[in-house]
């Protein structure tokens, strides 16, 4: 794994490489400042600290302006480095700010949520939200390094942990049947994170290295996300029913596995195992027929669609996925109806 370092606690050895930079700043949100920064502070050379509020709400141009202004005030030159300490909001936005400051300075991701460790911090996608459009502004840019300590997960709220776990399940389902067969016999509480985080990163990293710009096989990483994003979007303005990203993707994976089964691509046993494991881990999102009528058309707006057709990743078996399969609005509705029953 090039430039990716995994350990259970922050490893002093990797921090020595920071001495090459002329200036260093750490970007943290309220929670990572409180729970994660104290574990690193002693390992870092002299540095500045940028603290922002936590939450997707702040993944905006305004926050970027604040970050760029700080770097400017401190006289950061092109040999500086920004250390992104946090979940996917921090790694996406910090990477975007570093990648554009003076045409690009180095950044290092230190992801602290499960979602960021197995997904957001890896693969070079950076970005911010813009006028309500998610990840609307951004570019591809690789981190100089990604340093992962699974020990950070101990302070993560259980619901956030479970949400990130959906991407771990996804990586097994698209690429590793054996790992899936081991995983599905475990409870979330029994999982040895160092092993599964590393496994997940190996899959994501292999796929994104082979296809960095998402021309082909990188699309496999969207399994569960066509319907997952539609669910996530639908519940966005329903404060009492909000879904975390991974919770929406978990439901999306059941639906997209169901479509695979209905299209006779995936066996009934294969589908049943997926349904059972995801359902027992996440329970069920309650959906009325009216909800379903609104959710299905939202899948049409997916960035990955082409010329009006809905393109989806489907499974041929657990551990083997195919991309760019055209599905219809009726397929999506049927899957959501099945899920809701
Ligand atoms: N670039 C990519 O490829 C990619 C992939 C997936 C998701 N994303 C992005 O990631 C973002 C979601 O990431 P997220 O789920 O990590 O959200 P997040 O960064 O908002 O973190 C979730 C919450 O956990 C808190 N937190 C973080 N680490 C903690 C710790 N160790 N202990 C206690 N609390 C902690 C945060 O303050 C926040 O409140 C979205 O903006 C999404 O677009 C990007
Ligand atoms: Zn995702």
pLDDT value of position 232: 93
Closest-lying ligand to the alpha carbon of 152? 1
Confidence bin at 32 (pLDDT 50/70/90): very high
Closest-CA residue, ligand 1 atom 5, reads 120
Q: What would the mean pLDDT of 235-241 be, rounded to a whole number? A: 89
pLDDT over 80 (residue 304): no
Task: Using most ligand atoms within 8 A of CB, pick from 97, 115, 156, 214 the residue to mutate for ligand 1.
Answer: 115
**30 confidence band (pLDDT: 50, 70, 90):** very high
Strands of the chain, DSSP E: 4-7, 24-29, 48-52, 81-86, 106-111, 128-130, 133-137, 145-149, 310-317, 320-327
Q: Which two tokens stand for residue 45?
A: 């050379």
CB atoms within 10 A of CB 30: 13
| Residue 170 DSSP label | H
pLDDT of 20 above 80: yes
Look at residues 108, 101, 94, 111 and name the one whose alpha carbon lies nearest to residue 72: 101
- Structure tokens that stand for 25 in this block: 């700043």
Q: Which residue's CA is the nearest one to ligand 1's atom 11? A: 88
> With bands split at pLDDT 50, 70 and 90, how would you rate the model's confidence at 300?
confident
Ligand 2: distance of its center to the CA of 35 in Å? 24
pLDDT band at 305 (very low <50, low <70, confident <90, very high): low
* SS3 state at 234: helix
Pocket of ligand 1 (CB under 6 A): 29, 31-32, 35-36, 54-56, 59, 86-90, 92, 112-113, 115-116, 119-120, 123, 125, 135, 152, 155-156, 160, 245
Q: Is the pLDDT of residue 111 over 90?
A: yes
Q: Model-level pTM?
A: 0.96
What is the distance between the alpha carbons of residues 184 and 287, in angstroms, rounded to a whole number? 25
CA distances from residue 282 to 18, 30, 243 in whole angstroms, order as listed: 41, 28, 11
pLDDT tens digits, 126-152? 999 999 888 999 999 999 999 999 999
pLDDT in tens, 49-98: 999 999 999 999 999 999 999 999 999 999 999 999 999 999 999 999 99
| Atom of ligand 1 minimally distant from the CA of 54 | 37
Closest CA to 298 of 263, 325, 262, 336: 336
Write down the pLDDT at residue 239.
85
Cβ count within 10 A of residue 36: 24
What is the atom index within ligand 1 of the atom nearest the CA of 30? 37
Nearest to 336 by CA among 273, 274, 293: 293
Please tell me the predicted confidence (pLDDT) of residue 172: 98
pLDDT, average across residues 233-239 = 90
How are beta strands 145-149 and 106-111 bridged, if at all? parallel
Q: Could you list the active site residues?
A: 103, 125, 167, 204, 214, 218, 222, 225, 229, 245
Mean pLDDT of the chain: 96
Q: Are 34 and 17 in contact (CB under 8 A)?
A: no
The DSSP call for residue 40 is H
Tell me the mean pLDDT in the region 143-168.
Answer: 98
């Amino acid at each position: 794994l090039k430039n990716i370092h995994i350990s259970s606690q922050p490893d002093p050895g990797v921090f020595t490489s920071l001495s090459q930079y002329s200036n260093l700043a750490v970007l943290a949100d309220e929670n990572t400042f409180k729970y994660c920064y104290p574990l690193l502070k002693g390992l870092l050379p002299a540095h500045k600290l940028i603290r922002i509020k936590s939450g997707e709400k702040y993944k905006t141009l305004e926050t970027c302006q604040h970050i760029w202004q700080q770097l400017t005030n401190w006289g950061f030159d092109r040999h500086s480095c920004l250390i992104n300490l946090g979940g996917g909001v921090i790694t996406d936005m910090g990477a975007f700010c570093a990648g554009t400051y003076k045409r690009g300075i180095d950044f290092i991701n230190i992801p602290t949520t499960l979602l960021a460790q197995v997904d957001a911090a890896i693969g070079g996608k950076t970005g911010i939200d813009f006028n309500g459009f998610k990840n609307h502004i951004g570019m591809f840019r690789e981190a100089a390094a990604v340093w992962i300590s699974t020990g950070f997960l101990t302070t993560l709220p259980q619901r956030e942990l479970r949400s990130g776990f959906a991407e771990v399940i996804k990586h097994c389902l698209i690429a590793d049947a054996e790992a899936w067969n081991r995983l599905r016999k475990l409870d979330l509480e029994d999982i040895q994170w160092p092993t599964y985080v590393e496994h997940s990163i190996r899959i994501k990293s292999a796929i994104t290295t082979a296809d960095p710009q998402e021309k082909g096989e990188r699309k496999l990483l969207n399994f569960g996300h066509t319907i997952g994003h539609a669910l996530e979007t639908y519940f966005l303005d329903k404060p009492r029913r909000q879904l975390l990203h991974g919770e929406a993707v978990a439901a999306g994976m059941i639906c997209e596995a169901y479509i695979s089964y209905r299209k006779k691509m995936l066996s009934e046993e294969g589908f049943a195992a997926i349904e059972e494991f995801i359902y027992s881990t996440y329970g069920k999102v309650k959906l009325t027929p009216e909800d379903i009528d609104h959710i299905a058309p939202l899948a049409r707006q997916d960035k990955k669609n082409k010329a009006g057709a809905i393109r989806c990743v489907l499974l041929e078996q657990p551990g083997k996925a195919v991309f760019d399969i055209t599905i219809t609005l009726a397929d999506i509705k049927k899957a959501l109806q099945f899920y809701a029953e």
